[in-house]
Every structure is written in C-alpha cells, then in structure tokens.
Amino acid sequence: MTDSSTPASKKLSFKQQQHQFREDAILDAVNRLLAQKGYDLMTMDEVAAEVGIAKASLYKHFESKEAVAAASMTRFIEEALSMTRDLPDHMKPIDKIKSVVRWAVRVHLSGTMPSLPSTRSSIQQTLLAHEPYVEKLEQLTLLLGEWIGQAQDSGELSPALPGEVILYTIYARSCDPVADFLKNGGAFSDDDIVELLVHTCFEGMVRTPALPGRI
Amino acid sequence: MTDSSTPASKKLSFKQQQHQFREDAILDAVNRLLAQKGYDLMTMDEVAAEVGIAKASLYKHFESKEAVAAASMTRFIEEALSMTRDLPDHMKPIDKIKSVVRWAVRVHLSGTMPSLPSTRSSIQQTLLAHEPYVEKLEQLTLLLGEWIGQAQDSGELSPALPGEVILYTIYARSCDPVADFLKNGGAFSDDDIVELLVHTCFEGMVRTPALPGRI
DNA sequence: GTCTATAAACCGATAGAC
DNA sequence: GTCTATCGGTTTATAGAC
C-alpha cells in the first residue's frame, strides 16, 4: 500500500507517480485536519472531501483511520528528524536545541502541527505500536538527549534538571497552547510569538539580571 | 435545574439535599472523565455508569452533554477562584502566583483537572458562551493580572514580557502534558513533579547563577 | 481505482411505563 | 425521578457497479 520501493529502476512509472502524488495529497489533508481538530474530531468524510476523492477511494490507499493518521504523524516526525540532522555542526548544542523548538513553534503557528503530546487522544497507543513512528521518534530523542547532556556539561542548561524533564519540556513546548492564545489575540506577529515562547521556555519568566530592555 | 436558592430557609429539605447530593456526584464523575478522556471522548453512557444511574436520569438534571460539561468546568473554576482568593495577604505577588500554579499542577496530577486550554475541543465555544463560567474566569484573570503587574513592577517577574504572555503561560502550565509524561515515567513523586514544573515555568531551563546544587 | 450506496456500530437525546 | 427501550443522526468501513 505504502510500498514505494522499485528495486531496479530510479524512475517511477507514470501510474506510480500518480499514486504517490495522490497519497501525498491525502497525507497533506490529514496533517492539516489533525492540526486543526485533532484525531478524534477528524472524520474520514472530511479527509476525502478535502482531497477531492470519495471516501471509498481513501480506503484503497490506507486501511483505516488509525493507519492514515499514523502515516501522517510518521511523515511529520521524519521531517523533524531530517531538519534536526541538517543543523550545522558548528552550532553550540544549546543553539541547536533552541533551533528545534523555534522550528516546531513555527510549524505549529502555520497550522500544520499534528497534536502530538495529547495523552487524551485515542490514537496515542496506536502510534506507540507503529514501529516506523517509534523508530524515528527514538532517533530524534537520542539526538536531542545528546545535545541536552552536552549543554548541561558546558553549563548552558541547568545540570540540576533531570534530562527527561528538559526533553519532555522541549516536546511539549512545540505544541504549547500559549502560541494559539497569542495568535488568536492578534497583538503579536508569528515571529514575536516564536521568540516569546522560546524565551519563556528557556529563560523562564523571572527577571534575569542580564536582560536588556526588550525581553 | 441547578436552582439551589431557598429564600426563607437555611436548611434544605431532604429531597433537596438528595437532589444536590446526586448532582454533585454527577459533576464529580464528569470532572474525572473530562480529566481522563477530554470532552469529545467522554460519553453520557459512561457518566451514567460511573454515577450508577440511568442515562435518562442524567438528562433530568442537565439538559445536554454540553450543559453538564459546562457546569463541571464552572464548578472547577469556582474552586480555583476561591483557592486563589484565600491566599494570605502577606504573601508576595510572585509567591501567590507560584502557589496558584503549584495548586493547579497538583490537581492535574491527581487526575481531576478538566482539560481546559484545548483549542481543539468542540466545547470551547460553548464554554465561552456560558456566562457563569466566563464571569468566574474573568475574575480569576483580573486577580492574577494584578499580581503579575505588581511582580513586574517589583522586578520579580520580567517587565519586558507582555502581561498576556505571563498569564497564558500560567494557565497553560496548569495542564502541561509534561506532568503526565513524568508521572507515567514513574521516576518522580508528585511533589518532585510539581517543583520541577514550577521551576521550569518561572526560572526556565538555562543555568541560573544563583542555583545551589539541587534545582 | 473511483464512484454510489449501504451496512454496522456508536452516541446524544427522548418516550413512556412505573 | 428513575428506569428500559428506542429514535435519529453520525461515523467508520465495505460492497458492488463502472
């Protein structure tokens, strides 16, 4: 179904290209709907309507609602992983970590962040049983964990905080509802919101002595 | 329906007491289910089963699922407001604010925090049209806004941060999924989790010069 | 593969007996 | 007010024609 491996040829046939294009369109729609309404409120009728095909056609590409959501989330994690791996080597660990959060908040604001860390979604356990997703997530966690350790060793992140706390906080801030509230308020640009969130995430809200006038 | 005003008598009749008791039991169940699964995944069958009555009886007390959820949320906000108002006057504004967050995280960890700031829940707009809820929420916001301003004036909170950002962050941290992750991890006690969350919320995750050994 | 039409399950809400 | 039984609507998933 999602098998795009064609051993002995670099180019895909026209039919395969069309198939791949259609599947990408489906995943785009799912991604958008997951960001807007979350898994439970998203219906397959909506997905089909947004793609512009019949619902039955949808089930020729993916065998269930859970499967299509898992595929969408997996594609998203792959993007996050590839973005993270592409960060230049010369950056300091703390700046790499901040870049990841910055990227995630920006994606969130653009309305294409599937609601990841919602313990209250019925897809959570399905996702944790979906190996491609878990695998990529573990690789991302490994990479971030390394940088967190380095940043703690160099004193850029607090060594007194358990690594898991920092890791979970980074993941959680990527879907922080504060971004939605501020965007709905309309008083700030997306760039402002990103910087405000990254600041409160890493520096907190207390007065820091080294602060200049603005933030 | 929720009319408990009996003008000329301090005591409620037995029937009224029983009615009130039953309604409290319903709201308790709704509160628990809202915390566990959120509004959309909560079913009226579950609520009825948890209370131990038939679903039709539920509808004698509340006219709809939306109404019963709104009543539960309103009762919760009233508790938060009353807890906030009861904070001793001699406390510094920053400590009052921290106390509110501490209380909220503790409630969250106890499994009785209805999922408030979920922009992706279908009850959000219903709630904002429910006057008793909005009224209490505004009073709470007013109180917190005052303390935030005072804490910024005295330099305990960063004056460079817009007040709305601090306010929204306080609300958001009360339902932070990080608490769930850490609790599921099992490596920390509830007290530990509360302190870790409050710390990252106010002090951030960077190394603060004034830090002693632990946190 | 795509469509229309429909089955099967679930859920919010109600009817009517007691 | 509480119950059982059921309606009406929605949603996931599929059958079958093209």
**Residue B156 with chain A: CB contacts under 8 Å:** 206-207
For A72-98, write each residue's pLDDT tens digit.
999 999 999 999 999 999 999 999 999
**Are the C-beta atoms of residues A41 and B40 closer than 8 Å to each other?**
yes
Question: So what's the pLDDT on residue B121?
Answer: 82
Of A40-49, A181-190, B5-14, B205-214, least confident by mean pLDDT is B5-14
Least confident window among A106-115, B46-55, B89-98, B108-117:
B108-117
Q: What is the mean pLDDT of chain A?
A: 91
3-state class of B153 per DSSP? helix
A161: nearest CA partner in chain B: B215
Question: What gap in Å lies between CA B136 and CA B33, rounded to an integer?
Answer: 22
Find the closest chain A residue to B158 by CA distance.
A207
Q: Which residues bind near strand D, taking a CB cut-off of 7 Å?
A: A 42-45, 55-56, 59, 63-66; B 15, 19, 22, 52-57, 60-61
What is the arithmetic mean of pLDDT over B11-17?
A: 81
Q: Which of B120, B178, B215 sits opposite A160 (nearest CB)?
A: B215
Contact A27, A9 (CB under 8 A): no
Q: What is the pTM of this model?
A: 0.92
Say yes or no for a CB contact (<8 Å) between B158 and A38.
no
pLDDT the model gives residue A105: 98
Query: Residue A16 pLDDT more than 60?
Result: yes
Distance CA A101, CA A201 (A): 9
Q: What percent of chain B clears pLDDT 70, i.e. is strictly above it?
A: 90
Tens digit of each residue's pLDDT (9 = 90 or more) over B130-147: 999 999 999 999 999 999
Question: Residues A110-135: what's their mean pLDDT?
Answer: 87
- Nearest chain A residue to B161, by CA: A215
* pLDDT at position A44 over 80: yes
From B157, B180, B213, residue closest to A205, measured CB to CB: B157
- pLDDT > 80? residue A210: no
Note the pLDDT of residue A52: 97
Residue A48 CB neighbours (<10 A)? 18
Q: Distance between CA atoms of B189 and B105, rounded to whole angstroms?
A: 13
**Residue bearing the bigger pLDDT, B68 or B207:** B68
Q: Which domains does chain B have, with CATH numbers?
A: 65-202 (1.10.357.10)
Tens of pLDDT, residue by residue over A140-162, are 999 999 999 999 999 999 999 99
* Interchain CB distance below 8 Å, A207 and B159: yes
State both tokens at B15. Answer: 């029937």
In this model, does residue B78 exceed pLDDT 60?
Answer: yes
> What does the alpha-carbon distance between residue A188 and residue A185 come to, in Å, rounded to a whole number?
8
pLDDT classification of B154: cutoffs 50, 70, 90: very high
Report the C-alpha gap between A157 and B215 in whole angstroms.
Answer: 11
Q: Is the sign of the CA dihedral B46, B115, A37, A116 positive or negative?
A: negative
Q: Over 50: is that where the pLDDT of A17 sits?
A: yes
Mean pLDDT for B163-187 is: 96
The four Cα atoms A86, A92, A95, A100 give a dihedral, to 10 degrees, of 30
Does the pLDDT at position A109 exceed 70?
A: yes
Mean pLDDT, residues B71-80: 97
